Structure 1
Amino acid sequence: MKDQTPGVQPERIDMDNPQARVHWARKLDASEDQLREAVRAVGDRATDVELHLKGARSTTNSDRVHELGAK
C-alpha cells in the first residue's frame, strides 16, 4: 500500500465505474460480485475492502496448526 499523506483521501473504489470495478477486482483477486459485497459491508476504502476480502478467505493460525496435526 502507498503511504498516506495527511489530508489526502485514501484510495476509494468507485463501484459506479465499470473500469474501476474490473481494476479493483483483479487487484484484489476477487470477482466483481465479491467486490460489490465487500464494498456494501465495509465501505469503499480500498484498504478496508482488501482486509474484508482477505478475512473472508484466510485461515487463522490455529486452523493452520490444526491442519498440520499439532495439538
Structure 2
Amino acid sequence: MRAPSDVFLSDFTVDVAFFSDGEHYATQSYTVTASTWFSARQQALQMSVSSVYDDPRIPGLSRSATLRSGS
C-alpha cells in the first residue's frame, strides 16, 4: 500500500498559442513534469511569460494552453 503523500508525476506536452487582438500569431510547445494535466497547463502558461512571443508591445496579447499529450 502506498503512502497518501506519494505523488505520481507524468510528463506532459502543452502547446501555448499566442494571440494579438484575437488573431493567432505563434505557438510554442512546452514539456513539463506534473502530477495532473491542470498543473501541467498552469506550468506551461507560467513558462510562456519568458517566451520571445510574449512581448508587451503586442496589442491585445493573450494566450491559451492545450494539452497535446501526457504519459
Q: Structure 2 length normalisation: TM-score?
A: 0.31
Richer in strand (by share): 2
Q: Where is the helix percentage greater, Structure 1 or Structure 2?
A: 1
**Bigger Rg, which one:** 1
